[in-house]
Every structure is written in structure tokens, then in C-alpha cells.
Amino acid sequence: MIMTMLIVDDSKKIRDMLKTLFRLSADTIYECEDGGQAFDAYTMYSPDWVLMDIKMKHLDGMAATKSITSKFPNAKIIIVTQYDDPFLRQEAKDAGAIDYVLKENIFSLPDLITTYSLTSNNN
């Protein structure tokens, strides 16, 4: 499966880990270090998938997710965070994220995206 991806995380280490994880399945990977850059990057590149952190310096991932999905309702955003919090999970869903993955489970992302992609292609 070839796809484009936008990674939004203030940690270069996490962005690099995600790029390595998707190096074979994503033909193009864009990255931002803040939610404030995410809307512009999404508008410019229209990636197939967005992996979005929550806690970032200028604009958090929830606000960025909401701004992207309000303009682009078909955007596929997965929150990738260290916070295992039911309130944040619900907030992510309300913002339009299609899933919420803990960073400790980061290696499950390729299978999760493959599953979502196969499911959406069959509908």
C-alpha cells in the first residue's frame, strides 16, 4: 500500500521513529513540529493519513485535528500520544480523529492503518 502521510509531533525522535516505521509503505512523508503548522501542511499536501500528537507548544493536537476535520471532513487523523485518558480519547473522537493510539503501542500503527484502508476501500 502506497500512501502519503503527515506526522505532527514536537519530538524529532518520535517523528523519526514514525518515518522509519512507515518508510516502506508511505511514498511521501511530511512532518510538522506543531499543531499550528498542521492545518497549512494538510491543506498544501492533502495526505492520506495524519499522525497527530496532543501536547505541543503552540497549538495542541486536539485543536489542530478539529480545524483540519472541520474544513476537510474526510481527513484521516490518528492521535498518537502518551496520555491514556478516557476524557482525551473522547475529546479526540469529538474533534474528528478516527483513532487514538498510545505511543507505547506505536508499532501497531502500520497494521491499524492497513486495516482502516482495506475497510474503507471495500465500502
3-state secondary structure of 8: strand
Alpha helix positions (H), 1-123:
12-21, 35-45, 61-71, 86-95, 109-121
Mean pLDDT of 70-93: 96
Strand order of the β-sheet with 49-52 is: 26-32, 3-8, 49-52, 77-81, 99-102
CA gap 81, 87 in Å, rounded? 13
pLDDT grade for 1, boundaries at 50, 70 and 90: low
42-55 pLDDT tens trace: 999 999 999 999 99
* Domains, the chain, with CATH or none: 3-121 (3.40.50.2300)
Of 120 and 21, the structure prediction assigns the larger pLDDT to 21
